[in-house]
Chains A and B, each alone.
Chain A
Amino acid sequence: MESSRREFLKVAGVSAVGMGIGTQPVLDAFAASGGESGEAKAPKMVRGENALTAVHWGMVIDTRKLETAADLEPLIEACHKVHNVPHHEIKRHEIKWIWETEYHHAFPGKSNKYLNEGAEHRPFLVLCNHCENPPCVRACPTKATFQREDGLVLMDFHRCIGCRFCMAACPFGARSFNFRDPRPFIPETNKKFPTRCKGVVEKCNFCAELLAEGKMPACVEASNGAIAFGDLDDPESEVRKLLRENYTIRRKQTLGTEPSVYYIV
Chain B
Amino acid sequence: MSKKIYNKDQVIAGLVIFIALVSFPFWYNLGKAAPAPKVELTKQAKEAKFCVRPTEYMKAEHMQLLDVWRDTVAREGKRIYVNEAGKRFTMSLSNTCLDCHSNKAEFCDRCHNYASVDPYCYDCHIDNPKEKK
Contacts and interface: CB of A to CB of B under 8 A. Distances in A.
Interface of A: 4, 7-8, 11-12, 14-16, 25-26, 29-30, 33-36, 40-49, 51, 146, 148, 150, 152, 154, 156-158, 189, 191-192, 194-197, 208, 212
Contact of A197 (B57, B71, B81, B124): B124
B78 interface: yes
Interface string B58-82: 0001001101111110111111111
A238 to B, nearest CB: 22
A208 B77 CA distance: 8
26 contacts: A7-B68, A7-B71, A8-B68, A8-B72, A11-B65, A12-B65, A15-B53, A15-B54, A16-B84, A26-B54, A26-B56, A29-B54, A29-B57, A33-B49, A35-B84, A42-B84, A45-B69, A45-B91, A46-B78, A48-B79, A148-B75, A148-B76, A192-B95, A194-B124, A197-B124, A212-B77
Contacts of B85: 33-36
Contacts of B80: 45-49
B74 A212 contact: no
A177 to B, nearest CB: 15
Contacts of B76: 4, 45, 148
Given A26-B54, A35-B85, A40-B84, A11 B67 contact: yes
Contacts of B94: 191-192, 194
A111 B117 CA distance: 55
B27 interface: no
A257 B120 CA distance: 35
Chain A interface, DSSP helix/strand/loop, else mixed: loop
Interface of B: 49-50, 53-57, 61, 64-65, 67-72, 74-86, 90-91, 94-95, 120, 123-126, 129
B62 to A, nearest CB: 11
B78 A45 contact: yes
Contacts of A51: 77, 79
Contacts of A15: 53-54, 57
